[in-house]
A and B are shown apart, each in its own frame.
Chain A
Amino acid sequence: MKNSTLKYGTYSFILKALTILAVITLISHVFGAYLDIINIGLIHIIPVVVVAIHGNMKATIFITLLSVVFFNFLYIPPLYSFNVHDELYLWSFGIFAAVGWIVTVQAKNLMKQTKQNELRESLLHIISHDLRTPLSTIHGTINLILSNSDMEKNSIKNLLEDINYASLRMKRLIANLLDSTRLSSGDINLKLEWCDFEDIVGVALEEFSQIQKDELLEIKIDEMGLFWGDNTLLTQLIINLFDNAFKYSKENTKIKLLIIHDKTFVKIKIFNKSDYINKVKLKNIFDKFYRFEDTNDISGSGIGLAICKSIVTLHGGTIKALSEDEGMLIEVRLPILKKAKLL
């Protein structure tokens, strides 16, 4: 449903241009004697401009051709033929094409800017929401401690633990935001070097609290050589995968991470138990700013997994999310581009 309306919406402007062309032909026919050839020529530019502002070069070319053919066939002597005697008319055809091209290019730029603005706006929205959630924990908890002077030491420690956790979340989010602007600017170069996945997982684990590390994780990494990739980005990838698993995992269930070595690729699998997730949503999970609609209370944002996708794509790999065994499995496949030579 949505798809077909989208398609109609996308191409309706061509229909509009065709209608305008028909109306123009009619007007030119009826008032041809008053309008003179120059003005008839000029009004034939209208459909070209109407199409061009939609920024679709193919459509522009199509309508320009059509407009020129109509103009030539119906109004340029010899009438009802495609012979062009006068070189001047060739010029006016050239001008048609030039107008169409200029407007299309400008329109394209404008559309790109609008899209970027939209992205920026939703980014701001997410920042304000997602930074505010841990911040309110910190703020509220500190106020609670400050206003209760005779609180038990143990409960103070618990509250401080909450503050610590919230601030760690904020730190991760800020790192993600910086990465996302870097990754979406498009001109990022991978800093390729030899990476050790065991080492990367170790560094990624430092970002999480002791409780998460010790009790909730099960990690298995194949014995393998070094992997040729961007160390910083791959670390961020693992951090985000862990972060996502912790966020959506059912309470008190284990999260499993597997890194499997094959001849031509490395496979990273991360699994967490979770309430049933429908398949349509799983497809969208790597889109920027996507978040399960019914889990609004969970802090964080779709930004983490979108970054995962960018990182994986930059390494020439694939990432997908599957619903499996009452939980979610994210599977990353990274091609092995180079093998390390040692001594």
Chain B
Amino acid sequence: MNNYLIQIVEDDPSVKKLLEITFKEYQFKSVSCESKKSAFGMFLGHNPDLLIVDLGLPDGDGKEFIKQIREISKLPIIVLSARHDEREIVAALDAGADDYITKPFSVNELLARIRANLRRKINEENISDTITCGALEMNIASRDIFFKKEPLKLTPIEYELLKYFILNTNKTLTHKQILKEVWGVGYQNEMQYLRTYVNALRKKIEQNSTRPTYIKTESGIGYRFNCNNE
């Protein structure tokens, strides 16, 4: 079906097996390795379309590996974390990973994330005039945002925030990353701004703000702008 190649870096044999079987079942090609040491060579040799990296590798930090990769490639990186260790996950995202998933994970969730991240990669390669996400539409040139075909009334900061979310669709963004990009350097710890504006945005675009479908909260980590145009 597709021709995507996924590289798995995971030392736990049962998780590795589960991933390999899943990918085979869903017609992805995959290669896998167990350590940081062999991962880089494998990456250069196979040039995969997406990376899945376990954070707790036996021979060292997954973060180091992510940084190494980021110096030479922009491919999507999804991090696997054994515990819900928020600090580790945030550090990995800040190091350049695009998304994360914690064990135990559901295969459906993982596949959804993989597809979303691959789609983002394609979108970045084929630049079009508009970005559509559900009932939201953004014109790239004019930067106007429409909701259900109507122009969306937003304050300047709400607009900047939503624009940043749309441009980083299906990517987990840490609080710090968002604050730095939308509010500027020096605002990285001003969480109250972020929470207030996310709340306000949700009121404008979500049907039910306690069950958001666009702006998802990643507790203790950040937010993720979800877009599932199948």
Contact = CB atoms under 8 A, between A and B. Distances in A.
A and B: bona fide binding partners: yes
Interface string B191-210: 11101101100100000011
Interface string A165-197: 001000100010000000000000000011110
Contact of B192 (A199, A221, A226): A226
B222 to A, nearest CB: 12
B127 to A, nearest CB: 33
Given A194-B192, A198-B209, A205-B211, A231 B198 contact: no
A343 interface: yes
Contact of B195 (A194, A221, A232, A341): A194
B212 interface: yes
B7 to A, nearest CB: 28
Interface in B163-221: 191-193, 195-196, 198-199, 202, 209-212, 217, 219-220
A235 B218 CA distance: 12
Contacts of B217: 199, 202-203
B219 A203 contact: yes
B104 interface: yes
Nearest to A221: B210
A167 B107 CA distance: 14
A193 B196 contact: no
B210 A193 contact: no
Interface in A297-343: 340-343
Interface string A196-232: 1011011101000000010000010100011000011
Contact of A201 (B193, B210, B220): B210
Contact of A232 (B199, B209, B211, B219): B219
A202 B212 contact: yes
Contact of B211 (A195, A196, A213, A342): A213
Question: Which 6 residue pairs spanning A and B have beta carbons closest together?
Answer: A194-B192, A196-B195, A340-B192, A202-B210, A201-B210, A203-B219
B198 A199 contact: yes
B219 A219 contact: no
Given A193-B191, A202-B211, A235 B196 contact: no
Looking at A194, A201, A202, A205, the one whose CB has the most chain B CB atoms below 10 A away is: A202
Contacts of B193: 342-343
B109 to A, nearest CB: 11
A232 B220 contact: yes
A213 B212 CA distance: 13
Given A226-B192, A341-B192, 6 more contacts: A195-B195, A199-B217, A202-B210, A205-B210, A231-B219, A232-B219
10 contacts: A196-B196, A202-B209, A225-B196, A226-B192, A226-B196, A231-B220, A232-B86, A232-B220, A340-B196, A343-B193
A203 B215 CA distance: 11
Contacts of B211: 202, 205, 213
Contacts of B199: 196, 198-199
Contacts of A343: 193
A88 to B, nearest CB: 63
B134 to A, nearest CB: 17
A209 to B, nearest CB: 12
Nearest to A170: B104
A16 to B, nearest CB: 52
A199 B195 contact: yes
A201 B220 CA distance: 14
A59 to B, nearest CB: 47
A231 B209 CA distance: 18
B104 A235 contact: no
A193 B86 CA distance: 15
Interface in B56-111: 84, 86, 104
Interface in B150-174: none
Nearest to A202: B210
B104 A171 contact: yes
Contacts of A198: 199, 202, 209-210
Contacts of A171: 104
Nearest to B209: A198
B196 A342 contact: yes
Contacts of A199: 195, 198-199, 217
Given A167-B104, A171-B104, A226-B192, A235 B219 contact: yes
A342 B196 CA distance: 9
A203 B84 CA distance: 14
